[in-house]
Structure 1
Amino acid sequence: MGYEAYVIKYSTRVTFAKGCLRDLDVLGMRSSQKGFRGHFESLVHNAQLFRLGRQRSWRWTSLNSLLKGYQSKSIHPSEWAHFPQHLLHSWGGGILPDDFDPSMPDSTSVLSSELSNWYQKVREDLAEKLQLAYPAVLESPVAPELEVSTAEAAFDLAAVVFSCASCLKATYHLGTALVGWDNILAHICSSKLGSSKWHGTLHWSEKGHASALALMELVGKDPRTTTAEDMDKLDARFFCGNCEYTDFTGVQWKKALKWRECLTHVLYCVKPGHDDNPQTWLLLSEEATQHADEVDIAELEIGRDLVYFPNLFTRYFERPNTMFQTLSKEEIIWKLR
């Protein structure tokens, strides 16, 4: 093929390509792009609706099938409070003893009394431990509004602190400082059943008791009559006098703790060298406490220095000119006065 024929052949292709490029330029105009964009968006939206409709229909079908299967195997709600009558004789005593009496009362009628008896048994067992560890509180007068016996009223006092041995040995800290009967009972009911019979792992905490007395002395409360609820309503904040933290920027700071968190702190999260010095607590002023309430940061701390959960860290800073300016020990003491 000669040079002329080569030029004619490929010039035709170039002309055709230019025509295609011209059409592409038209498609590439902004108005055309908007038109195609709306078209494709409608297609995608319709496809999404179709997929969601099929998925929703499939889920309803699965739930209906599961519900029908459950209903076919379950008993009528009117019989939930009673043992199924057809099981009394069908299994030949495999479940029920031979001396089972079908006329026994319903479980709902005896559950309340059974729980009350169990609560009373737990309180009596813990009261014996309390009498051995802290007899002074049983001999002192208690608040007149506590209409229970002296030993049982002591469980609501802020100075009575119990600890769970299982929580102290493990990596759990929720049961390290239990103050108040509601707090004790909640921990017992959330524990797993074992040889300890729930409350068998609870023991008197001398360290927690000493810290509670020190905290009440700082806020001017009488430990003989001050309850845990009274301290909760006070909402005071404290610094641990033995702990100081430094973050990755080199800024030193302290944790502003509530009174229950102080007890957990002294029992659970002790930094190296913490027990070498006598425990001291610093009370924040009203201004500092108000500032602490405003800048509380709820976040988790990872590592062995976990103090409590939820962990409320309060970094008390002054910011006059620099981004962060920490307070010296003398300045903190001056502000706490």
Structure 2
Amino acid sequence: MSTELNHLIAWDVKAFIEHPLVSQPKELTDRIWNNIKDTLVEFIKEKEVERLEEARLEVMFSRDALAAKLYKDWLATQALTEPFPSVADICLMKEFNDVIVRPADQPVKKKDFNPAIATLPQFVEEWRAKAKLELCKVLPALPEDHPNRDNAWKDPQRLDLATTIFGCGCFNTVSYPRVLFHRCLTSFGMSDCKVTDDLTARFERLNCVPWGYRDKQRCAVPASRFTRTLVQACGLDPETTTKIDMDELDPKFMCLECAPTAGGWRRVMAWNNVVCRCLFHLNMLLMLTWCPLLGESSLEHAQKHCHGAVRWL
């Protein structure tokens, strides 16, 4: 018991000296000791359990941090043109997690993660494929007469459409592939503290959660419908027009309903900014009053409609 007491004094001396049976203004006699011994021994044992648990978690946290650093070092060697899993996804990857959760008294070094690092390319590809399928499952069903209706849930090409937009807790609209690495979907938040277990503690220390850890993604139906009208206003087919197509066309839109500012300015926006603005203000009644401005005469077209200056956003 002397060892446990020494550990307690070194770890949390305040808890010991402030214990009601210890913090007494009287001399400790044999009689008093015999009366309080059992209670204090039980208290010291409980504190020893707490100390060992805290030490175990700290060891696991340090291994998570090492795994995160190794992953970030590996990412630095990759072409970041495609989405990659979050740090939390990697720490839960079996090859990494098996090393991280080894007994606390078993040393873990950088080289112990080498086999896990070697499997990262395959894991990333599998993660992307799985994430795409999860996103496809929440997309609206196709019309009954659509030839690809039955297989729509596993058609990742639908994710590239300009009309495929997902919702987010920060009230922003998120398209693919940004939905796979949008910060709001992987950062640790207070709502993630509901369960007090090892995983939650690890996520809190990493300040990150795996993609899809919270509620499943949802399709922003109003945004998708609104974007459909923008695509059609550009003379394009919303069933085949991708986000890249719209970005390359780079159409500007001007609201014919909004009054000019005090300085006489009219707002002219890129197509994706129009979607965000209308949804943020929940003003879907304006969805049919946006005028597309295309081609070299966009500026003249805008000035003709607003009879004043135009501000590009």
The structure number with the bigger radius of gyration is: 1
TM-score normalised by the chain length of structure 1:
0.46
TM-score normalised by the chain length of structure 2:
0.49
